[in-house]
Structure 1
């Protein structure tokens, strides 16, 4: 009887973990551009700043937390759709997680912008010049004043 109970508990935990993962994936912001060149083209056309999110999807704990607590929220989706072009520059240890061409671009961007710690959020303008950046993990609510400062720079 104890073995059956233990088995049920283990299965419940596994199912719960799986469904939470899927839920987080489904909350993922849908407006991340698939390529840097497409994102840059939109930045030029729409005159919005590009938010480049440097992350290590398979090794960076703070990045995973930021994905879940900031980038997967409805509040961020609404703010970003109106004000930013989004590009995710993932540089995982398991390089098979990102297609070769995109991984190469992500590494070049990290080198160009001297990104050495993860997560890093960088804003650039249509000339690919840095407008603002944040390194490391902050409390979620601290990102919104940062985002607002970028929006206000764009207006000014």
Structure 2
């Protein structure tokens, strides 16, 4: 039984919370028929990034919405050694930035199809409440169906 639980834990993708692996996120989005929300963040140095997470992404209403409609991916670029990423994760984040954030904007949030096609971008901290952000995402999702 413990082995079964361990295997299920290893291969299941959490619906809530932020994934770190974009390829796994694309697979989950395809399997669950969801969009991907990719956020480029500097979690320990970027004030607007921290504010975005606090005011929108950590809001209960956003967490509930994202569970049903989004696969969340966080590409973090911390600066302090204490928050340093593994070399593998840093490489993955650099590759994501090369593909989706060539200008190096922080925060930078992207709504993508399950296949990785960009449908909407937000540069910097959106001047929206969590509810307004959700409505904007819903509007884009409904237009795409």
TM-score range, shorter chain: 0.7 to 0.9
1:1-156 to structure 2, matched below 5 A, reads 30-94=16-80, 96-113=83-100, 114-141=102-129, 142-154=132-144, 156=145
Count of residue pairs brought into register by the alignment: 127
Deviation at 1:115, TM superposition (A): 4.5
Larger radius of gyration: 1
Greater per-residue helix proportion = 1
Q: Deviations over 1:92-134 (max 9, x none)?
A: 2236532221221111111111352111110111221111111
Q: What secondary structure, in the 3-state scheme, does the structure 1 residue paired with 2:65 have?
A: helix
Contact 2:16-2:66 at 8 Å conserved across structures = no
Distance 2:35 2:143 in 1: 10
Judging changes above 3 Å, is the alpha-carbon distance between structure 1 residues 153 and 101 closer, same or farther for their aligned structure 2 residues?
farther
Distance 1:99 1:46 in 2: 29
Contact 1:69-1:140 at 8 Å conserved across structures = no
Judging changes above 3 Å, is the alpha-carbon distance between structure 1 residues 75 and 115 closer, same or farther for their aligned structure 2 residues?
farther
TM score, norm. by length of structure 1: 0.73
Judging changes above 3 Å, is the alpha-carbon distance between structure 1 residues 126 and 59 closer, same or farther for their aligned structure 2 residues?
same
Distance 2:29 2:57 in 1: 19
Alignment RMSD (CA, Å): 1.9
Which stretch of the first structure deviates more once superposed, 83-92 or 30-39?
30-39
Contact 2:16-2:67 at 8 Å conserved across structures = no
Gaps of 5+ in 2: 1-14
TM score, norm. by length of structure 2: 0.78
Higher relative contact order (CA closer than 8 Å, sequence separation 6+)? 2
